[in-house]
DNA sequence: AAGCAAATTTAAGCTACATTTAAGGTAACG
DNA sequence: CGTTACCTTAAATGTAGCTTAAATTTGCTT
């Protein structure tokens, strides 16, 4: 789960970041409205946490522009103002929920879960393709021949592939979605993980394969013997 | 057992807090309706004690909102009003019991026990997995090779694990459920207790093991030799 | 109120593993 | 046939988790 956190108070941002990461979210933090908009345009987030009062651009304007641009990522509005007026204005503009500061971390997490639940309700806990299945809860990849627990990065990669079987996924998509924009990691890491995953698929005797398309990316395909 | 106490009179709150803690409950205290709602949204409580007359938000409204949000934690209403009208209104909105001030501490404790009993009636007193069993009454962890009495924290941790065998429980979940939100305890304590419990499992020759999933949490698994 | 025992937390050094880098190899494509 | 993109492995790195022991707190007993 990848979240965008737009909050200009550095201390609060840092604290929230830590809490969210601890709860197994990948978090990109931005500190003003312009960045929030730029980053938010990327569809690679499962949710956006948006402070209303930010430099450069107001949170509500960010939200409005995002929606106008056709971005449908769920948005949770964060505001110091308890005024109902602002809340309603936010919901009108396409926010999914709001939270007034100060709030308990528990409520924040609950609301994020609720906000992203709609989407995950439609995504099964067990992904399958051919004789291969991936358990989203235990991070286990298995076939009839056994199962292997995957590391975080491996899991996210195979998850992306199994979510779109037969669909070509670019190396950049992997990088953006798993490592985030600001990463300094080399493109290399994607190749390395593809290699690791292939090895595990072979070990498990899976009848699927990851095909490379030169200069573009990878496709997961069921292989018919 | 973790309780949420929502009572705005500081003196009374302090006194109740002390009594409850003495009776082996973990207690989070809040002093107004808004906080009661925020904290109550967290499903990690075994019961909520809710005063009706509170600043910011009325107890009944808190209760109503909680139920609407799908929170089913048992609620005991506390009220200075002896009027039947309010009582009935509370029970309608989903309260499990009520108590009018002033009350004896004995009665309060009895009603809390009664309120939380329904839930515990369905949970067996003896949890087992593999050759390992945990007695919820005596806090004893045992196998055929012997038994060891656990401390409170150790008990709560192994209880959470044995309640969901094979299910991954995040470090945060342990912290929230056992230590509560406001704790300043380091994440470290979880590791320490996991270590203690593992040592005791080994001493007892248990055929279960606690597996760690890096960056996420722990899973209790029956080990097949 | 003092002192003791048990439970809990902190702190520190250590270990193991996920992740990344780097480097040498192989296959596709012109 | 040479260039480029990709593959694979091994080694380096960094960090999460493990384990103790010591410090602190709590609760009980006298």
Q: Given A107, A149, A151, which is nearest B38 (Cβ)?
A: A107
| Chain A CA closest to residue B166 | A138
Q: Find the Å distance, CA of residue A199 to C1' of nucleotide C19.
A: 17
Q: What is the pLDDT of residues A134-162, one digit of tens each?
A: 988 788 899 999 889 888 899 999 999 99
| Chain A CA closest to residue B66 | A107
Flag whether residue A23 sits within 8 Å of chain B, measured between CB atoms.
yes
Q: How far is B41 from chain A (nearest CA, A)?
A: 6
- ∠ CA A170-A172-A174, rounded to 5°: 80
Which chain B residues contact residue A149 at CB under 8 A? 213
Cis peptide upstream of residue A225 (ω within 30 degrees of 0): no
How many residue pairs bridge chain A and chain B with CB atoms within 8 Å of each other?
41
Please state which CATH class domain A2-121 belongs to: alpha beta
Encode chain B in three state secondary structure.
CEEEEECCCHHHHHHHHHHHHHCCCEEEEECCHHHHHHHHCCCCCCEEEEECCCCCCCHHHHHHHHHHCCCCCCEEEEECCCCHHHHHHHHHCCCCEEEECCCCHHHHHHHHHHHHHHHHHHCCCEEEECCEEEECCCCEEEECCEEEECCHHHHHHHHHHHHCCCCCEEHHHHHHHHHCCCCCCCCHHHHHHHHHHHHHHHHCCCCEEEEEECCCEEEEEECCC
Query: What is the spatial distance between Cα B111 and Cα B92, in angstroms, rounded to a whole number?
Result: 18
CB contact under 8 A, B215 and A149: no
Query: What is the spatial distance between Cα A6 and Cα A95, in angstroms, rounded to a whole number?
Result: 14
Q: How confident is the model at residue B215 (pLDDT cuts 50, 70, 90)?
A: confident
> Which residues put CB within 7 Å of chain C, the nucleic strand?
A 151-154, 179, 183-186, 188-189, 192-193, 214; B 149, 151-154, 179, 183-186, 188-189, 192-193, 214-215
Residue burial A42-76, b: 16+ Cβ < 10 Å; e: rest? bebbbbbbbbbebeebebbbbbbbbeeeebebbbb
Q: Find the Å distance, CA of residue B69 to C1' of nucleotide D26.
A: 38
Place of tokens 């045992």: B142
Looking at residue B133, its pLDDT comes to 92
CA A120 to chain centre: 12
Query: What is the spatial distance between Cα A22 and Cα B186, in angstroms, rounded to a whole number?
Result: 13
Q: How confident is the model at residue A87 (pLDDT cuts 50, 70, 90)?
A: low
Query: What is the spatial distance between Cα B39 and Cα B181, in angstroms, rounded to a whole number?
Result: 9
Q: Answer yes or no: is pLDDT of A89 > 70.
A: no
Q: What is the pLDDT of residues A180-194, one digit of tens each?
A: 877 888 899 999 999
Q: What is the pLDDT of residues B33-64, one digit of tens each?
A: 888 888 888 777 889 999 988 888 888 889 98
Q: Answer yes or no: is pLDDT of B195 > 80.
A: yes
| Chain A CA closest to residue B170 | A23
Query: What is the spatial distance between Cα B11 and Cα B28, in angstroms, rounded to a whole number?
Result: 15
Q: Which fold has domain B126-222?
A: Arc Repressor Mutant, subunit A (1.10.10)
Q: Find the Å distance, CA of residue B210 to C1' of nucleotide C11.
A: 24
Q: How far is CA B93 from CA B18, B53, B75, in A?
A: 29, 16, 10
Please, are residues A122 and A163 in contact by the beta-carbon 8 Å criterion?
Answer: no
Query: Is B77 or A117 the better-scoring residue by pLDDT?
Result: B77
- Provide the token pair at B187: 């994440």
| Chain B CA closest to residue A106 | B42
Start and end residues for every CATH 1.10.10.10 domain found in chain A: 126-222
Give the pTM. 0.72
Place of tokens 């971390």: A105
Query: Which DSSP helix (H) or strand (E) runs through A27?
Result: strand A26-30
Query: Is A132 or A224 the better-scoring residue by pLDDT?
Result: A132
Phi then psi dihedrals of residue A193, to 5 deg? -70, -35
Looking at residue B81, its pLDDT comes to 63
Which nucleotide C1' is nearest A211 CA? D6
Q: How confident is the model at residue A121 (pLDDT cuts 50, 70, 90)?
A: low
CA A39 to chain centre: 13
Instruction: Assign domain B2-122 one CATH number from 3.40.50.12280, 1.20.1090.10, 3.50.30.30, 3.40.50.2300.
Output: 3.40.50.2300
Query: What is the spatial distance between Cα B139 and Cα B162, in angstroms, rounded to a whole number?
Result: 13
Q: How confident is the model at residue A33 (pLDDT cuts 50, 70, 90)?
A: very high
Between β-strands A47-51 and A75-79, what pairing exists: parallel, antiparallel or unpaired? Answer: parallel
What's chain B's average pLDDT? 85
- Provide the token pair at A217: 């990316």
Query: What is the spatial distance between Cα A53 and Cα A75, in angstroms, rounded to a whole number?
Result: 15
Looking at residue A224, its pLDDT comes to 74
Q: How confident is the model at residue A176 (pLDDT cuts 50, 70, 90)?
A: confident
Measured in residues, chain B has a length of: 225
CB contact under 8 A, A137 and B42: no
- Scanning A97-136 for CB atoms below 8 A from B yields 103-107, 110
CB contact under 8 A, A138 and B35: no
Q: Given A24, A104, A137, which is nearest B181 (Cβ)?
A: A104
Q: What is the pLDDT of residues B127-185, one digit of tens each?
A: 899 899 998 888 899 998 888 999 889 999 999 999 888 888 888 889 888 888 777 78
């Amino acid at each position: 789960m990848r979240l965008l956190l737009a909050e200009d108070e550095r201390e609060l941002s840092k604290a929230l970041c830590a809490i969210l990461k601890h709860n197994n979210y990948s978090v990109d933090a931005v500190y003003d409205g312009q960045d929030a908009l730029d980053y938010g345009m990327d569809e690679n987030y499962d949710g956006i946490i948006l402070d209303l009062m930010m430099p450069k651009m107001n949170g509500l304007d960010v939200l409005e522009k995002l929606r106008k641009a056709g971005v449908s990522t769920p948005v949770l509005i964060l505001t110091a103002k308890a005024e109902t007026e602002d809340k309603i204005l936010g919901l009108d503009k396409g926010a999914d929920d709001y939270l007034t500061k100060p709030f308990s971390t528990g409520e924040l997490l609950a609301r994020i879960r609720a906000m992203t639940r709609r989407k995950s309700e439609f995504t099964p806990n067990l992904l399958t393709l051919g004789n291969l299945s991936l358990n989203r809860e235990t991070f286990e990849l298995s076939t009839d021949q056994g199962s292997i627990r995957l590391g975080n990065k491996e899991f996210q990669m195979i998850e992306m592939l199994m979510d779109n079987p037969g669909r070509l996924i670019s190396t950049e998509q992997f990088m953006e979605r798993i490592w985030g924009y600001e990463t300094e990691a080399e493109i290399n890491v994607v190749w390395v993980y593809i290699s690791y995953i292939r090895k595990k698929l072979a070990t498990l005797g899976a009848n699927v394969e990851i095909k490379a398309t030169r200069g573009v990316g990878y496709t997961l395909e069921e292989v018919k013997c």
